[in-house]
Each structure stands twice: as structure tokens, then as C-alpha cells.
Amino acid sequence: MTVWIAIALTAVGCYLVKLLGLAVPAGVLERPLLRRLAVLLPVALLAALTAVQTFGTDHGSLALDARSAGLAAAAVALLLRAPFLVVIAVAVAVTAALRALGG
């Protein structure tokens, strides 16, 4: 039952954060610092999430495995200016191949 309590509290928290965003006056949101923060914060959060999910383990240590190779392959595909779906396909293929080989 505690899982459902956590889900309910998370839903209420998300709703309150959205409500708080609507309560902020428009003048506050027009400040250059907040505009820049609103542009950069999602990118930083996504990068942090990617790093934790790629290099993290259950024990809190650093891991270099198939996920890391998939991310590296995606980075190479991006440097070669591949379309987004190709980047994803390359990352998935490299990760799956290494996992199939036992890595």
C-alpha cells in the first residue's frame, strides 16, 4: 500500500508545482536570468539523467559496460550528423550487440 501512497503524493506534488508555475507573475518570468535558466535547465537535467543511467550501478559506483558503448556510438553518430532516429538505432544496436556478446 505504501507504493500507492508514494504515487498519490507524487501526483499531488506535480500538480502543486504546476499550480505554483501559474501563480508566478508574468513580470518575474521576463527577467533575462530566468529566461536563460529556463532554456538551460532541461538540458542539464537530461544530461545528468543520461549520465546516471549510463554510468551508474546499484552500488553507487562507476560502470563502463554496453550502455557506455551505446552512448559513445550515439555520440559518434551525432558528430557525423546522422538523423535522430539513426542515432537512436545505432545506440540500440551497439548496446544490444555487446549485451548479446556477454558484455
Write out pLDDT tens, residues 75-99: 999 999 999 999 999 999 999 999 9
Does 82 lie in the same domain as 53? no
Domain that holds residue 86: 64-102
**1 pLDDT exceeds 70?**
no
Does 68 lie in the same domain as 88? yes
Does 90 lie in the same domain as 71? yes
Position 28 scores a pLDDT of 82
Does 98 lie in the same domain as 68? yes
Q: What is the count of structural domains for the chain?
A: 3
Burial degree of 72 (CB within 10 A; 0-12, 13-18, 19+): middle
The DSSP H or E segment spanning 4 is helix 2-23
Instruction: Look at residue 39 and give its three-state secondary structure.
Output: helix
Does 23 lie in the same domain as 35? no
